[in-house]
Amino acid sequence: MQVRTDFDVVIVGGGIVGLASAYKIASMRPEVKLAVLEKEDRLAAHQTGHNSGVIHSGLYYRPGSSKAETCTAGRKELIAFAKKNAIPHDICGKIIVATDERELSVMERIFQNGSANGVEGIAKIGPEEIRKIEPAATGIAGIHVPSAGIIDFTAVANKLAELIQTHGSHNRVLTAHKVIGFNKHDFYTSVVTSKSAISTRYLINCAGLQCDRVARMDGVDPGVQIVPFRGDYHDLTEAAASKVKNLVYPVPDPAFPFLGVHFTRMIAGGVECGPNAVFAFKREGYRKTDFDLRDTWDSLSHWSTWLLFLRHWRYGLGEYARSFSKQLLLRQLQRLVPSIGLEDFRPGNAGVRAQALGPKGELVDDFKIEATKHAIHVLNAPSPAATASLAIGEHIAKLAAEQFELDN
C-alpha cells in the first residue's frame, strides 16, 4: 500500500555523514524526496565542526575493515569534491615519528596496514629524513604519508547541503529541528520535531553523539552505548607555529582508537596541538566544566563504562592529568618537537568523540551500521568518518536502495 508522506526518506543529523548520505541518495535517485533534520541552528555543529580538519590517509585501520575500505576510497573522492567545489584544502602530507625503540614494532604494523590498504607513497624514513621534512622534529624512525592533508569540513558540509537541495526542489535541509520522538504507523513514520511533525516512509539515523538514543526512539536496540570522550586542543603561538610545517604524529597506542598528542597545521592558519582523550560529563560539552545529568547517568549507569574504566584506569588518569597540567602536556609535545616550551601554546578548541562501547566495555573499533526494513542506523562513526564520509554515504545510499522500496 502506498501512503502519501511529506518525504520518502528523513535523515536525522546534519553532520557530514548525514549530509553525505543525503547527497548520495539525491545524486543516485533524484526522484526521491528527502529531508535532513539538524537540531542545531547550523550544520556541522558538533563532531564535524569540532574535529582537527585532517584528511586521513587510511594508514591505521585493519585491512578489510569498513574503516580501511571507506577511508581510502572516501579520501580520494573528498579531495576531488573539494577541487571541484573550491573548498579550502591542502594535501600537505604528514609524518609519524617513533621516539622509543618499543614503538618500532607498532610502527611496522601501521606501515604494513597502510601498504595493504593501498595508501599511496608511504615510506619508512630515518632521523635525517624526519628533520628534512620537519626540521624541528626528532625521532629514531618514522613514516612519511604524503597523501594526508587538511580541509575545512564545515565548508564541505555546507556545500553538500546546497547540492542536496539543487538535486531536487522537493528536498529540504532543515536546521533547528530537534527530533523528540517517532509515531510509528503501518506504512509510515511521523517524525516529531521541536518545530513540527514530518511524515516519512523511511528513516536514516546519522545523529552522531545522540545516535543510540535516536535508535531507541525507533524501537531499535543499538547493542552499544555511546560514551563521550572530550579532546582538548591547544594553539601554538605565532612564533612557535613556524616550528611545525604540516602534520606531526606520534606512534599511537594500539589499545586505543585515539592517535595521541600531535601537531596539526590548520587550513585557516596556525597550528594546534593535542588532543587528550577524557571522559566527558556532557555529550556535547566542549568545556572542562560542562555537565549534563542525563548524559552522565546514561554513561555511568552502564556496567560497560565501568568495565572500560577498570581496564584502562592508568591511561585514563594520565589523560585527565594532562588535561589540567600544562607541564605534563609539554612533556608529550617535546617528545616530537623538543624545542617547544611552556610559553609556546595556549588553550584552544575542543571536540567530543562519540565512542561506542560494547556490552563488555570494549571500544567498538570499526564503523557500525545496522539496517531494518524501514530504517538505517549509523551507530558508530568516529574518525576517520569525516574523511570517509562520501564513501560511507554511498554505502548507505546503496543499502537504502536494497532495504527500502524506493521504486514504489
Residue 336: name the closest of 59, 134, 60 by CA. Answer: 134
Verify that 248 and 198 share a domain, yes or no: no
Q: How far is CA 239 from CA 235, 236, 244, in A?
A: 11, 8, 10
pLDDT recorded at residue 257: 61
- In a domain, residue 71? The reply is no
Query: Could you please report the per-residue DSSP string of 32-57?
Result: S-EEEE-SSSSSS-STGGGS--EE--
Verify that 12 and 109 share a domain, yes or no: no
Verify that 200 and 334 share a domain, yes or no: no
Grid cell of 105 as nine digits: 614494532
Percent of the chain with pLDDT over 70: 98
Grid cell of 1 as nine digits: 500500500
The amino acid sitting at 205 is: N
Beta strand pairing status for 225-236 and 271-274? antiparallel
* SS (HEC) of 180-215: EEEEECCCCEEEEECCCEEEEEEEEECCHHHHHHHH
CB contact at 8 A, 375 and 367: no
Grid cell of 190 as nine digits: 511521523
Strand partners, 265: 271
Residue 8: name the closest of 28, 32, 31, 25 by CA. Answer: 32
Verify that 375 and 353 share a domain, yes or no: no
- In a domain, residue 85? The reply is no
The tens digit of pLDDT for each residue in 5-27 reads 899 999 999 999 999 999 999 99
* Omega within 30 of 0 (cis) for the link into 275: yes
- In a domain, residue 87? The reply is no
3-class secondary-structure state, position 109: helix
Flag whether pLDDT at 1 surpasses 50. no
The tens digit of pLDDT for each residue in 70-112 reads 999 999 999 999 999 999 999 999 999 999 999 999 999 999 9
pLDDT recorded at residue 118: 93
Is residue 197 very low, low, confident or very high in pLDDT (cuts 50, 70, 90)?
Answer: very high
**In the chain, how many domains are there?**
3
- In a domain, residue 84? The reply is no
Mean pLDDT of the chain: 93
CB contact at 8 A, 273 and 331: no
- In a domain, residue 102? The reply is yes
pLDDT recorded at residue 43: 97
CB contact at 8 A, 15 and 210: no
- In a domain, residue 140? The reply is yes
Beta strand pairing status for 271-274 and 197-205? unpaired
Flag whether pLDDT at 2 surpasses 60. no
Verify that 353 and 383 share a domain, yes or no: no
Grid cell of 224 as nine digits: 552499544
The residues, any chain, with a CB within 8 Å of residue 216's CB and separated by 6 or more, are 222
Taking the CA atoms of residue 42, residue 46, residue 49 and residue 52 in that order, the dihedral angle to the nearest 10 degrees is: 180
3-class secondary-structure state, position 137: coil
pLDDT, mean of residues 281-293: 95
pLDDT, mean of residues 374-400: 96
**CATH at 255:** 3.30.9
Verify that 280 and 370 share a domain, yes or no: no
Verify that 210 and 185 share a domain, yes or no: yes
In whole angstroms, give the CA distance from residue 127 to residue 139: 6
pLDDT, mean of residues 373-397: 96
Verify that 129 and 171 share a domain, yes or no: no
Q: Which domain holds residue 398?
A: 7-48+154-224+366-403
The tens digit of pLDDT for each residue in 122-135 reads 999 999 999 999 99
pLDDT recorded at residue 216: 96
Grid cell of 316 as nine digits: 585514563
**CATH at 204:** 3.50.50.60
Verify that 235 and 287 share a domain, yes or no: yes
pLDDT, mean of residues 135-158: 97
Torsion angles phi and psi, residue 137, rounded to 5: -90, 150
Mean pLDDT lowest among 95-109, 139-153, 249-263: 249-263
- In a domain, residue 2? The reply is no
Percent of the chain with pLDDT over 90: 85
Q: Which residue has the cell 542525563?
A: 294
Mean pLDDT lowest among 74-78, 312-316, 348-352: 312-316
pLDDT recorded at residue 17: 98
pLDDT recorded at residue 387: 97
Verify that 391 and 262 share a domain, yes or no: no
pLDDT, mean of residues 204-214: 97
pLDDT recorded at residue 336: 96
Q: How far is CA 50 from CA 36, 122, 288, in A?
A: 20, 28, 15
The amino acid sitting at 244 is: V
Verify that 340 and 382 share a domain, yes or no: no
Instruction: Tell me which DSSP letter residue 387 carries.
Output: T
CB contact at 8 A, 1 and 370: no
Flag whether pLDDT at 153 surpasses 90. yes
Q: Which residue has the cell 578548541?
A: 349
Is residue 312 very low, low, confident or very high in pLDDT (cuts 50, 70, 90)?
Answer: confident
pLDDT recorded at residue 376: 98
Verify that 19 and 123 share a domain, yes or no: no
pLDDT recorded at residue 107: 95
